[in-house]
A and B are shown apart, each in its own frame.
Chain A
Amino acid sequence: MGFSNWSKTVVVEEEDHISLTRKMAALTISSSTLGGFTFDNCKRNGFLEAKANELGCHLPAARKTGTTICGIVFKDGIVLGADTRATEGMIVADKNCSKIHYISPNIYCCGAGTAADTEMTTQMISSNLELHALSTGRRPRVATANRMFKQMLFRYQGYIGAALVLGGVDCNGPHLYSIYPHGSTDKLPYVTMGSGSLAAMAVFEDRYKPGMEEKEAKALVRDAIAAGIFNDLGSGSNIDLCVITADKVDYIRPHDQANKKGSRTGDYKYKRGTTGVLTKVVTPLNLDVVEESVQTMDTS
């Protein structure tokens, strides 16, 4: 019922309800036996968007993280870093969002791209990985999480706009992956993603060395994210860090408040006594109550 009303007003003006349902039934019978991907809805979505734009209403812009995220492998494990700005077009939607997501106690994942996509995807894989770990009886491996991510993202052919930096330490040592929205992955000693990735990568290419100490590694990641924050408009605010080693995880949020809000230096309020009082005369007004009535407000 609801569908036919909607289709009458937006898509089709002349056709009546009965012929439409007959067509709908015909559609469902013919497409069920074909394998592979079906992109029928894409055409419909494109049409609907064009129609909406014609009427003057625009679909809401996806909130992107417009980010700088990065990760490196150091001597004892992984350091992941991220900025904390979430943008909606040209506006900062969230000044202090968290882009380093929990996957499992030994695996964390930074997400860039569409905020909803990174959030839901990481939660989904985290949940599946926990079930998988309970089933195997072992600590989950980073390669497993990587495989789960890429198989899901490829299935959606890039429509899920999630660009991820996945890092963790498992029984085989530290591992670091970058995962792209279309489902390709790279296994590298240092990776950056997001709009500020070039700035961060410049810092890595300049100063990365294999087998760094934890302090040096944290400083390098902090500098890479800072380069993204100060040279890319899509990144900003603070720097979050996550240090993962074989025995512990340090989720440092914030590691560096690179953009603290300034405090006001002056005040327009004048202190009592600024204007000198010469004389003061107090005259009480003696008023008698003549009539008192109560009128209730109509708050229904």
Chain B
Amino acid sequence: MNSLARLGELSGSLDSFRPWVPSWRRQATRLGWSPSPSPSRSRTAAGHRRSMASEEFQRTPMVTGTSVLAVKFTGGVIMAADMLGSYGSLARFRNISRLMKVNNSTILGASGDYADYQYLKHVIEQMVIDEELVGDGHNYSPKAMHSWLTRVMYNRRCRMNPLWNTVVIGGFYHGQSFLGYVDKLGVAYEAPSVATGFGAYLAQPLMRDALENKPELSKEEARQLIDRCLKVLYYRDARSYNRYEIAVVTEDGVEIVGPLSSETNWDIANLVSGFE
């Protein structure tokens, strides 16, 4: 119970003790932020930075997810991610979901460390509940979520303890589609098509080509484009899996479809024999 309180997680029994704190500060503390140390406290008597030992750079990610793809279309955004959690080169968890519904107008997908994504998911879900409890008719917009996440990721990176994820945020708010990307370094941008990991090398060329020929895609065209990209990724990404989920956010809300599989064509195997 003590450790929970220290982490700043919402815990009902402590409410009566807690003074009023603005929600941004509460959320940030939940994610591990602490106010910057004053000059006098940043060094020990010996003059060394004590913080170095406890706040090492986070070690390499353990269970990881590969690419997340997303593309805007007229009336919403479509996002896809496969359902594999790799443990290095081992395909360890073959039925994990890397896409989440934030609220009726926003979806979020993450690649990279799965544990960090689970933590982020927990915090965001709690934030959304808090927002609903306020009950003023407002919800987090996708742009607001993207902005908040950028600040959090960048802050973690500055403190040398990043959330080892690349996050894609998609949404449809006030009649406009939104698609954003945030890195573990805090690199953030919006684009009509976004892909993380290997998807940036394999799927992004296909998505950009389709959007160049037709900047306003329909929902079916966007879905077909994503399916093609997922197939190419399954062929060529060594850490991918042929089971994926697709999330679509439109004016009517969020729909997460899955698990689905690509139809693969191995006919060229008949043309290959030997290596010379």
A interface residues (Cβ-Cβ under 8 A, vs B): 73, 143, 146-147, 150, 177, 184-190, 198-199, 201-203, 205-206, 208, 210, 223, 226-228, 230-231
Q: Which of A146, A185, A230 contacts B205 (CB 8 A)?
A: A230
Question: Is B243 engaged at the interface, CB distance under 8 Å to the other chain?
Answer: no
User: Which of A185, A198, A199, A205 contacts B276, CB < 8 Å?
Assistant: A185
Residues of B within 8 A of A186 (CB): 275
Q: Is B208 an interface residue (CB 8 A)?
A: yes
Q: Are A199 and B205 in contact (CB under 8 A)?
A: yes
Contacts of A230 in B (CB 8 A): 205, 208
Q: Are A189 and B206 in contact (CB under 8 A)?
A: no
Taking a contact as CB atoms closer than 8 A, the residue among B202, B272, B274, B275 that contacts A202 in the complex is B202
Interface range for B: 20 to 34
Q: Assuming the A-B contacts A198-B202, A199-B205, A231-B205, are A210 and B268 also in contact, with contact meaning beta carbons closer than 8 angstroms in the complex?
A: yes
B236 and A205 form a contact (CB under 8 A): yes
Q: What is the distance, in angstroms, from A184's C-beta to the closest C-beta of chain B?
A: 7
B232 to A205, Cβ gap below 8 A?
yes
B205 touches A188 (CB 8 A): no
Cα distance, A146 to B256, chains bound together (Å)? 50
A189 engages B205 (CB within 8 Å): no
Known: A230-B208, A231-B204, A231-B208. A189 touches B276 (CB 8 A): no
Interface string of B190-210 (1 = CB under 8 A from A): 000000001001111110110
Per a CB cutoff under 8 Å, which of B198, B206, B272, B275 touches A206?
Answer: B206
**Contact between A205 and B205, CB atoms less than 8 A apart:** no
Minimal beta-carbon separation of B193 from chain A (angstroms)? 11
Quote the shortest CB–CB distance from A258 to chain B (angstroms).
12
CB neighbours (8 Å) of B274 from chain A are: 187
Interchain CB contact under 8 A, A202 and B206: yes
Interface of A is mostly: helix
The distance in angstroms between the C-alpha atoms of A61 and B57, with both chains bound, is: 33
Q: How far is the CA of A188 from the CA of B268 in the complex (A)?
A: 9
Residues of B within 8 A of A206 (CB): 206, 228, 231-232
B contacts, CB < 8 Å to A: 198, 201-206, 208-209, 228-229, 231-232, 235-236, 267-268, 271-276
Determine the chain B residues whose CB is within 8 A of the CB of A226 once the complex forms: 209
How far is A199 from B267 in the complex, measured between Cα atoms in Å? 22
Q: B276 contacts A187, CB within 8 Å?
A: yes
Measured in the bound complex, the distance between the Cα atoms of B274 and A146 in whole Å is 13
- Give the residue of B202, B209, B268, B276 whose beta carbon is less than 8 angstroms from that of A201: B202
| Interchain CB contact under 8 A, A203 and B268 | no
Q: A202-B206, A230-B205, A231-B205 are in contact. Are A146 and B232 (CB under 8 A)?
A: no
Cα distance, A206 to B201, chains bound together (Å): 14
- The answer to whether A202 touches B203 (Cβ under 8 A) is yes
Q: How far is the CB of B178 from chain A (nearest CB, A)?
A: 23
B275 touches A184 (CB 8 A): yes
Least CB separation from A179: chain B residue:
B276
Closest approach, in angstroms, between the C-beta of B243 and any C-beta of chain A?
Answer: 19
Q: Which residue of B lies closest to A210 (CB)?
A: B271
Q: A73-B271, A203-B205, A206-B232 are in contact. List 9 more A-B contacts (CB 8 A).
A: A177-B276, A188-B268, A189-B271, A198-B198, A198-B236, A205-B231, A205-B232, A227-B206, A227-B209
- Which among A177, A185, A199, A230 has the highest number of chain B CB atoms within 10 Å? A199
Most A C-beta atoms less than 10 A away, residue of B205, B209, B228, B232: B205
Is the beta-carbon distance between A202 and B276 smaller than 8 angstroms? no
User: 5 shortest A-B CB distances, which residue pairs?
Assistant: A198-B201, A227-B205, A199-B205, A231-B205, A202-B202
A186 to B274, CA, bound (A): 8
Contact residues in A for B201 (Cβ distance below 8 Å): 198-199, 202, 231
Are A185 and B236 CB-contacts (below 8 A) given A199-B201, A202-B206, A206-B228? no
* B271 neighbours in A (Cβ, 8 Å): 73, 188-189, 210
Which of A143, A185, A203, A205 has the most B CB atoms < 10 Å from its CB?
Answer: A205
Some 5 contacts from A to B, beta carbons below 8 A apart, are: A73-B271, A188-B268, A202-B202, A202-B206, A210-B267
Beyond A198-B202, A210-B267, A231-B204, whether A143 also contacts B276 by CB under 8 A is yes
